[in-house]
Structure 1
């Protein structure tokens, strides 16, 4: 399964998620940001690549749907409800991402 993790600037949360899940045998993962100033901005190609999209907050889903409605018609978007309270690879963020993503995608850790 191809999973795209999205936050605002692709600086802390989504790159952490990509790092946490990059070696799972059933996944191929990438990350991006909704902001124009993101380290790696969301593109139509990334959205087409993804089988599932995991956004950190509802506002990220809203932005994606507003900008890429047609590309997302048949995509599953999971809102993880992870606030922008963590630095890259923060141990609490890592544990939260393991639990929430495994639950949402039905995966074993």
Structure 2
């Protein structure tokens, strides 16, 4: 690969990685996946210098942290939703009402 092609290739990798990071900040997980898929295609036939690998790795760690935070937020919301649902079921049984069939949450679970 010529020097100018190598520079363009490296810049493309950096751009895709930054776009993945920006998409992760916005919670656009499909876009994150698309950026990493394109980056993988760029990496298939070309060796990467260790310095570039370290730079990209730092960005990747930030994306990973955002993914972990999103998962934790979702888990917290699911726990809270489950508690609210249990409270509502308790109110219904206290009032003598039966639950009206499976809820959307039951269908998704």
TM-score, normalised via structure 1 length: 0.24
If each structure's strand is expressed as a fraction of its own residues, which one has the higher value?
A: 1
If each structure's helix is expressed as a fraction of its own residues, which one has the higher value?
A: 2
Larger radius of gyration: 2
